[in-house]
Amino acid sequence: MAGTFSLQIVSPEGNVLKEEVEFVVLPGGAGELGILPNHSPLIAGLDIGVIRYTQNSTVKRVAITGGFVEVTDNSATVLADTAELSETIDIARAVDAKERAMKRLAARSNEIDLRRAEYALRRAAARLSAADDK
b/e sequence 18-48, b meaning 16+ C-beta within 10 Å: eeebbbbbbbeeeeebebeeebeeeeeebbb
Same domain, yes or no: 22 and 62: yes
Residue 117, pLDDT > 90, answer: no
Task: Render pLDDT for 31-90 as a digit per residue (tens, 0 to 9).
Answer: 999 999 999 999 999 999 999 999 998 999 999 999 999 999 999 999 999 999 999 998
- Rounded CA-CA distance 125/63 in Å is 9
Same structural domain, 77 and 96: no
The secondary element (H helix, E strand) that includes residue 106 is helix 91-107
20 and 77 both lie in a single domain: yes
pLDDT at 133: 59
Q: Which of 65, 86, 107 lies at the terminal end of a domain, its last residue? A: 86
- Number of independent structural domains in the chain: 2
- Closest to 44 (Cα-Cα) out of 27, 60, 24, 61: 27
- 115 in the same domain as 76: no
pTM: 0.87
Together in a domain, 40 and 79: yes
Q: What is the pLDDT of residue 105?
A: 83
Same domain, 19 and 55: yes
Residue 120 exposure: Cα atoms within 13 Å on the Cβ side: 19
Are both 71 and 96 inside the same structural domain?
A: no
Predicted local confidence at residue 53, as pLDDT: 97
Task: Report the CATH number that the domain containing residue 127 is assigned in CATH.
Answer: 1.20.5.440
Nearest CA to 7 out of 36, 44, 48 is that of: 36
96 in the same domain as 65: no
**Alpha-carbon distance 1 to 116, whole Å?**
43
CATH number for the domain harbouring residue 39: 2.60.15.10
Parent domain of 125 = 90-131
- pLDDT at residue 1, as a whole number: 45
Share of the chain above pLDDT 90, in %: 75
